[in-house]
Amino acid sequence: MKKYVPLFETYSTPSWWVGVADCNGIESFIKEPDMSDADDADRLAELGLDEPGAGNKLRKGWSNQVGLLQMRARANSQRHAVVYRVMLNQEDADQIEELLSAGEYIEALELLKEVALETQIARGTGINAEKAWKMIPNPDLDPFS
């Protein structure tokens, strides 16, 4: 399922992606911001070139967004929803985004699980997240279908 990539095309540095997935596939797929921007803002603030706490605002904003994903997963626990964090090459992330745009949510999750360089699953969503991750995607688990 990999795309052909010309010999001279360079690959990007892998990056982290987060989202919610459940028995029906990927529900959300969000690129994690580069937190070096927050570190840079802290360094500029130390020099008096940016407002104090600017880096903390960036970190807090991202933390709040991840918190919302956890709330969403908890509200959808009957569908074995989990919050995931995966490291992906940009080429693989592009393929996943294409599948999502086409409404192929199950196929997108299958590809994500296959190509992820590293996978982390959030706890604290009211279910055994690691067990749920192994069970999904599987539309037969949806109590509403």
Residue 25, pLDDT above cutoff 90: yes
Asked, for residue 30, whether it belongs to a domain, the answer is yes
Which H/E stretch holds residue 120? Answer: strand 118-121
How many domains does one find in the chain? 1
pLDDT band at 64 (very low <50, low <70, confident <90, very high): confident
Q: Please indicate, yes or no, whether the overall pTM of this predicted structure exceeds 0.85.
A: no
Confidence of residue 115 (pLDDT cuts 50, 70, 90): very high
| Tokens matching residue 23 | 């028995």
Within a domain: 23: yes
- Quickly tell me which residue has 């580069």 as its tokens: 34
pLDDT in tens, 91-114: 999 999 999 999 999 999 999 999
Q: What is the Cα–Cα distance from 87 to 32, expressed in whole angstroms?
A: 10
Within a domain: 130: yes
CA atoms of 125 and 46, how far apart (whole Å): 38
Domain that holds residue 29: 15-141
In angstroms, the CA 111 to CA 131 distance is: 19
